[in-house]
Amino acid sequence: MSATLERVSTMDGNAIAARIDELAQLSDDPGCLTRLTLSPSHKKAAALIGEWMRTAGMHVRVDAAGNVVGRYEAEKPDASKVIIASHIDTVRNAGRFDGNLGVITGIAVVGELNRQGRRLPFAIEVVAFSDEEGVRFSSTLSGSRAVAGVFDAACLDDRDSDGVSRRQALLGFGTDPSKIAEAACNPANTLAYLEVHIEQGPVLEARNLPLGIVTAINGATRGEVVVKGEAGHSGTLPMAMRRDAMTAAAEMILAIEAHARTGADIVATVGRVEIPNGAVNIVPGQVRFSLDVRSSSDDARSRAVADIQQEIARIAAARNVSAQFTATYDMPVTTCDANVIKAMSRAFVQNACEPFMLGSGAGHDGMSFRGRIPVGMIFARCRSGISHNPAEFASPADMGAAARVLFDLLLDTGAFA
């Protein structure tokens, strides 16, 4: 049992669970948890997170990308730092653990250091990223990309479904998007990026393990397909004369599923379908649908995206419609740092946890730090692997274990050499 266990009881899972529940009340939808980036509920969540950070002994600021940054100073000034982060924006009708757990656990660990009056050889910055899910705007990871120093200013012109640009939303949130470059960390004095996250998959539960060590984060391609046929009267247009964009899209979507089923290491999803100006009595003239392709192999993913585009073109030609795929996001595999993984394994063993390693099918903010800062992730077991769903659940015991492992990782002097 870790020597620090009894001293870190304030990080017990019930305290973390209580904060998860409190944060989950902040939603833009009264019936479920929906906290899109830069929304009114995100603003309230940022304020609450800032309060918790201050109580944990951190100086708090909100950067130009809308991230809440809590800083816990090192034993000496001008020391390097370790980032502990995750996101507080959610998908629609979300689970309450995705993202939020990592921020709350980071605050809990710093709170325990502060309670013990302990300072480490490095500073700690706990960051609540503003936009990991990429639901409100088409591009994603904008918060962590700003901190990683790889922010793409073009995304400031992304517009949401109400036509509001990211730039306007940031100004409305009270930040100055023209200063986003100032949010970037300096890789020369940033020792590691650490994140605790629910697994969002079934592997740990199947092995009856509370925690896991992430080896890599799968690469992902996101985009949109626009299918154009010809709108017509549903009552008068003979079937043989139709150029129905919806039935063409339906055939394409089933072809995408069939293709992904053939690949051992490919998942492909169409999560959103829209018929602009659709109506019950109109043969759809245009359909837009999203595409999300993931793999642990970048080659397999780019081959799958190319094959899927060919299938879409074949079906479009056969149905005399047009189809255009536009990629809005393309992130390669992010391999976690071997030294951090080794130190994590030591912290797992110290806490009587098997140091089980697994890949992440889900994307995470750590992808933004790829190739710039060593990335390490700890997964917490997720009931039935359910996520992006209100039924998402992690137990207080598992969340407490994650906090203790993270705490011991920070105390491991060899972790961030």
Task: Lay out the site mask for ligand HGY across 82-121 (x = CB under 6 A, - = otherwise).
Answer: ----------------------------------------
Residue 105 or 200: the one with the smaller Cβ distance to ligand HGY is: 200
Residue 363 or 400: the one with the smaller Cβ distance to ligand HGY is: 363
Shortest distance, CB of residue 247 to ligand HGY, whole angstroms?
Answer: 28
Task: Check: CB of residue 220 under 8 Å from CB of residue 292.
Answer: yes
Shortest distance, CB of residue 384 to ligand HGY, whole angstroms?
Answer: 17
Name which position in 70, 95, 177, 363 contacts ligand HGY (CB under 6 A).
Answer: 363
Considering only residues 119 through 158, tell me which ones interact with ligand HGY, judged by CB under 6 A. 132-133
Q: Does 98 bind Mn ion (CB under 5 A)?
A: yes
Give the Cβ contact number of residue 25 at 10 Å.
12
Euclidean distance between CA atoms 238 and 241, whole angstroms: 5
Shortest distance, CB of residue 160 to ligand HGY, whole angstroms?
Answer: 17
Which candidate, 310, 100, 71, 80, places its Cα nearest to that of 200? 100
Euclidean distance between CA atoms 116 and 110, whole angstroms: 10
Euclidean distance between CA atoms 213 and 360, whole angstroms: 10
Of 11-19, 77-85, 96-104, 337-345, the segment contacting Mn ion by CB under 5 A is 96-104
* Cα–Cα distance list, 413 to 136, 149, 179, 316, 375 (Å): 41, 27, 35, 59, 17
Distance between start and end Cα atoms, the chain: 25
Euclidean distance between CA atoms 212 and 172, whole angstroms: 39
Strands (E), 19-129: 59-62, 68-72, 81-87, 123-129
Q: Does 199 bind ligand HGY (CB under 6 A)?
A: no
Task: Check: CB of residue 67 under 8 Å from CB of residue 83.
Answer: no
Residue 95 or 106: the one with the smaller Cβ distance to ligand HGY is: 95
Shortest distance, CB of residue 79 to Mn ion, whole angstroms?
Answer: 29
Q: Does 362 bind ligand HGY (CB under 6 A)?
A: yes
Instruction: Please choose which of ligand HGY, Mn ion, none residue 195 contacts, taking the beta carbon within 5 to 8 angstroms, the exact cut-off set by kind.
Output: none
Shortest distance, CB of residue 139 to ligand HGY, whole angstroms?
Answer: 12
Euclidean distance between CA atoms 227 and 283, whole angstroms: 13
Residue 285 or 363: the one with the smaller Cβ distance to Mn ion is: 363
322 in helix, strand or coil?
strand
Instruction: Please choose which of Mn ion, ligand HGY, none residue 50 contacts, taking the beta carbon within 5 to 8 angstroms, the exact cut-off set by kind.
Output: none
Which candidate, 238, 384, 361, 219, places its Cα nearest to that of 304? 219
Considering only residues 381 through 400, tell me which ones interact with ligand HGY, judged by CB under 6 A. none
Residue 355 or 361: the one with the smaller Cβ distance to ligand HGY is: 361
Q: What does the DSSP 8-state code read for residue 165?
A: B
Of 74-82, 97-105, 114-122, 370-378, the segment contacting Mn ion by CB under 5 A is 97-105
Binders of ligand HGY: how many residues, by CB under 6 A? Answer: 4
Which candidate, 394, 391, 363, 390, places its Cα nearest to that of 381? 394
Shortest distance, CB of residue 394 to ligand HGY, whole angstroms?
Answer: 15
Considering only residues 282 through 301, tell me which ones interact with ligand HGY, judged by CB under 6 A. none
Residue 227 or 367: the one with the smaller Cβ distance to ligand HGY is: 367
Euclidean distance between CA atoms 134 and 90, whole angstroms: 9
Hey, what are 270's tokens? 């169409």
Task: Check: CB of residue 86 under 8 Å from CB of residue 147.
Answer: no
Residue 131 or 398: the one with the smaller Cβ distance to ligand HGY is: 131
Q: Spell out the residues 6+ positions from residue 81 whose beta carbon is closer than 8 angstroms to its own.
A: 71, 74, 122, 123, 124, 125, 185, 189, 190, 191
Instruction: Please choose which of ligand HGY, Mn ion, none residue 363 contacts, taking the beta carbon within 5 to 8 angstroms, the exact cut-off set by kind.
Output: ligand HGY
Instruction: Please choose which of Mn ion, ligand HGY, none residue 284 contacts, taking the beta carbon within 5 to 8 angstroms, the exact cut-off set by kind.
Output: none
Hey, what are 43's tokens? 């603003």
Shortest distance, CB of residue 110 to ligand HGY, whole angstroms?
Answer: 25
Instruction: Please choose which of Mn ion, ligand HGY, none residue 411 contacts, taking the beta carbon within 5 to 8 angstroms, the exact cut-off set by kind.
Output: none
Considering only residues 206 through 235, tell me which ones interact with ligand HGY, judged by CB under 6 A. none
Hey, what are 349's tokens? 């063993």
Contact positions vs ligand HGY (CB under 6 A): 132-133, 362-363
Contact positions vs Mn ion (CB under 5 A): 98-99
